[in-house]
C-alpha cells in the first residue's frame, strides 16, 4: 500500500511535537527538584550552623556560670561571713581612754594617783563623723582618743551621753567617714547569726561569731532601761561600744556587757538593740541629751499565783509598790497597791515593759491607764512630765 508522503509526515510531527512537550515537562520537573534539593541543603546547613553556635554558647555559659544551667550546681564554697565583715568592719573604730585613779598607800594618809589606760570600741553611724559607744567607756575619762580602721587617730568631742541606756555620742572631724548600715533589732529572731566586731584587749578589728540567744533581756541591774540582745558571740574587755552585726553586715546592736566570768559561765553577752540606739542618738543630736517622760511610779512584777488571788484571769498585770507624792501618777489618783493591766491600750506584763512605755512618752503626753483596785476595775489618765535627772 502506497502511503502519501503528506499523510505520513503529519503523525510524525505530532509524535515529535508530543515528544518535545514531554521532554520540556521533564526538564521543568528536574529543575524544580533541583531547587528543592538546593533549598533543603541550605536549610540543613543553617540548622547545623545554629546547632554549632548554640552548643558553643552553652559551653561558655556552663564554663563561666554553671549555676544558671538547670540541674547543674556550682562547686560548693566554704561557708563564710567575709562579705558581712568587709561591709561593716571599716565602720568600727578603736577607743583608747586614760583616767586618773586614786590609790591609797597602806599605812599612811598619803594619796597617790595613777593613770589607768583602757581599750574600747565605737561605731561610725553617720558619714559626717558621729560615733556611738557606751557611756561607761567615756565616763570619768580624762583623755579619749579614737583610731579609725585606716590608722588615723584623733580626739573626739562628746556630743552627749545617756547613762540610763549606757550610750554616748561622739563627733570627730576627719572628713567623710564609712558609716555602718543600720539594721532593725525588732525583727531579730533567736538563732539568727550575729558577729561581734571590736577592739578586745587592743586587738583591733577582731571578729567573733555566734547567734542571738534571746531578746528583750532585763532585770540585770546594769542600766535603768534594759532591753538587751543576748548573744553567745564572744565579748571581751575592749568590745564595749563595738558593733553587733547580722549576716548582711548591718548594725543590730552595740556590744555592752558580758555576764561575770564565773567558773562554768561563758557565752553570755549583751548588746543594746539598734532601735533603741537610733532613738537615743536622734534626741542627743537635737537636744544634747535625752528627754523622757516620767509618770512618778515604781512598779513590780506579779506572779501567776498573785494574779489568781486577785481574780486576774489573764497573764498581764503589774503591781504599783510606790506612787511618788506630787508626781503625775499621784495627781491622776493612782495609789500604791493598784494593779496596772494596760497602758495606752497595751497589755502590760512586766515592770520593764511599763518603764519602757513610760520612758517612750514625751513631757505633756497623756497615758491612759486601765487597772484594778480592791477587785474593781478602774481607768485613769496620767499626764507625763519630763523625767528628772535623779528620779526617785
Report pTM.
Answer: 0.75
217-246, pLDDT tens digit by residue? 987 888 888 899 999 999 998 999 999 999
d(CA 341, CA 163): 29
pLDDT(343) > 90: yes
Question: Are residues 43 and 14 part of one domain?
Answer: yes
User: What pLDDT does 4 receive?
Assistant: 46
Helix (H) or strand (E) holding 268, with range, is none
pLDDT(2) > 60: no
Confidence of residue 109 (pLDDT cuts 50, 70, 90): low
State the total domains in the chain.
Answer: 4
Helix (H) or strand (E) holding 110, with range, is none
Question: Are residues 128 and 104 part of one domain?
Answer: yes
d(CA 306, CA 282): 40
d(CA 276, CA 290): 12
User: What pLDDT does 262 receive?
Assistant: 61
pLDDT(28) > 70: no
Question: Are residues 314 and 279 part of one domain?
Answer: no
Q: Is residue 222 part of a domain?
A: yes
Instruction: Note down the domain range covering 255.
Output: 193-287
* 16 a catalytic residue: no
Per-residue CA distances from 308 to 125, 167, 291 (Å): 48, 40, 38
User: What pLDDT does 314 receive?
Assistant: 87
Catalytic residue from among 89, 91, 121, 136: 136
Question: Are residues 259 and 204 part of one domain?
Answer: yes
Q: Is residue 176 part of a domain?
A: no
The dihedral region occupied by 91, where left means phi > 0, alpha psi between -120 and 50, and beta the remainder, is alpha
Q: Is residue 4 part of a domain?
A: no
For 204, counting Cβ atoms within 10 Å of its Cβ (0-12 exposed, 13-18 middle, 19+ buried), the class is middle
d(CA 380, CA 384): 13
Q: Is residue 361 part of a domain?
A: yes
Q: Which of 121-144 are b and which e, b meaning 16 or more Cβ less than 10 Å from the residue's Cβ?
A: bbbbbbeebbbbbbbbbbeebeeb
Question: Are residues 203 and 277 part of one domain?
Answer: yes
Q: Is residue 82 part of a domain?
A: no
For 327, the grid coordinates are 508626781
Domain-terminating residue out of 19, 34, 68? 68
Q: Which of 183, 178, 119 is nearest to 148 (CA)?
A: 178
Helix (H) or strand (E) holding 287, with range, is helix 274-287
Catalytic residue from among 213, 240, 350, 358: 240
User: What pLDDT does 388 receive?
Assistant: 87
pLDDT(342) > 90: yes
326-337, pLDDT tens digit by residue? 999 999 999 999
Q: In what order do the strands lie in the sheet with 157-162?
A: 153-154, 143-147, 92-104, 111-126, 130-133, 167-171, 157-162
Q: Is residue 21 part of a domain?
A: yes
Q: What CATH number is given to the structural domain containing 323?
A: 2.30.42.10
- Under DSSP, is residue 365 helix (H, G, I), strand (E, B) or coil? coil
Q: Is residue 184 part of a domain?
A: no
Question: Are residues 101 and 62 part of one domain?
Answer: no
Q: Is residue 392 part of a domain?
A: no
User: What pLDDT does 14 receive?
Assistant: 43
> Mean pLDDT in the chain?
86
Per-residue CA distances from 315 to 310, 334, 357 (Å): 12, 21, 18
Question: Are residues 297 and 382 part of one domain?
Answer: yes
For 21, the grid coordinates are 512537550
Catalytic residue from among 88, 162, 166, 358: 166
Domain-terminating residue out of 231, 261, 287? 287
Yes or no: say if 118 and 97 are a contact pair by the CB < 8 Å rule: yes
pLDDT(275) > 90: yes
For 71, counting Cβ atoms within 10 Å of its Cβ (0-12 exposed, 13-18 middle, 19+ buried), the class is exposed
Q: What CATH number is given to the structural domain containing 159?
A: 2.40.10.10
* 166 a catalytic residue: yes
User: What pLDDT does 3 receive?
Assistant: 45
For 1, the grid coordinates are 500500500
User: How far is C-alpha 97 from the chain's CA centre?
Assistant: 29
d(CA 168, CA 241): 9
* 240 a catalytic residue: yes
Question: Are residues 274 and 325 part of one domain?
Answer: no
Amino acid at each position: 500500500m502506497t502511503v502519501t508522503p503528506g499523510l505520513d509526515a503529519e503523525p510524525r510531527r505530532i509524535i515529535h511535537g508530543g515528544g518535545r512537550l514531554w521532554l520540556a515537562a521533564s526538564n521543568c520537573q528536574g529543575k524544580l527538584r533541583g531547587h528543592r534539593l538546593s533549598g533543603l541543603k541550605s536549610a540543613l546547613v543553617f540548622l547545623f550552623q545554629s546547632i554549632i553556635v548554640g552548643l558553643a554558647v552553652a559551653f561558655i555559659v556552663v564554663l563561666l556560670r554553671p549555676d544558671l544551667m538547670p540541674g547543674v550546681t556550682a562547686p560548693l564554697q566554704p561557708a563564710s561571713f567575709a562579705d558581712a565583715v568587709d561591709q561593716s568592719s571599716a565602720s568600727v573604730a578603736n577607743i583608747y581612754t586614760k583616767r586618773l585613779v586614786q590609790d591609797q598607800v597602806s599605812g599612811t594618809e598619803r594619796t597617790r594617783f595613777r593613770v589607768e589606760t583602757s581599750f574600747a570600741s565605737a561605731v561610725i553611724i553617720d558619714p559626717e563623723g558621729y560615733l556611738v559607744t557606751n557611756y561607761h567607756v567615756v565616763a570619768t575619762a580624762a583623755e579619749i582618743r579614737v583610731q579609725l580602721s585606716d590608722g588615723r587617730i584623733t580626739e573626739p568631742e562628746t556630743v552627749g551621753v545617756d547613762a540610763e541606756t549606757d550610750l554616748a555620742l561622739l563627733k570627730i572631724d576627719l572628713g567623710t567617714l564609712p558609716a555602718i548600715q543600720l539594721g532593725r533589732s525588732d525583727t531579730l529572731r533567736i538563732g539568727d547569726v550575729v558577729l561581734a566586731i571590736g577592739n578586745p584587749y587592743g586587738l583591733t578589728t577582731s571578729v567573733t561569731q555566734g547567734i542571738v540567744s534571746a531578746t528583750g533581756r532585763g532585770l540585770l541591774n546594769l542600766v535603768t532601761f534594759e532591753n538587751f540582745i543576748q548573744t553567745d558571740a564572744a565579748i571581751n574587755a575592749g568590745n564595749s561600744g563595738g558593733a553587733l552585726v547580722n549576716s548582711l553586715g548591718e548594725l543590730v546592736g552595740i556590744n555592752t556587757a558580758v555576764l561575770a566570768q564565773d567558773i562554768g559561765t561563758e557565752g553570755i553577752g549583751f548588746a543594746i538593740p539598734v532601735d533603741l540606739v537610733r532613738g537615743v542618738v536622734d534626741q542627743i543630736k537635737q537636744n544634747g541629751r535625752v528627754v523622757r517622760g516620767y509618770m512618778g511610779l515604781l512598779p513590780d512584777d506579779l506572779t501567776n499565783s498573785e494574779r489568781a488571788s486577785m481574780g486576774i484571769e489573764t497573764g498581764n498585770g503589774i503591781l504599783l509598790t510606790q506612787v511618788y507624792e506630787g508626781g503625775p501618777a499621784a495627781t491622776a489618783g493612782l495609789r500604791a497597791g493598784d494593779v496596772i493591766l494596760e497602758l495606752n491600750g497595751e497589755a502590760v506584763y512586766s515592770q520593764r515593759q511599763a518603764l519602757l512605755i513610760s520612758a517612750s512618752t514625751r513631757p505633756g503626753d497623756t497615758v491612759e491607764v486601765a487597772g484594778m483596785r480592791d477587785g474593781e476595775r478602774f481607768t485613769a489618765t496620767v499626764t507625763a512630765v519630763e523625767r528628772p535627772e535623779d528620779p526617785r
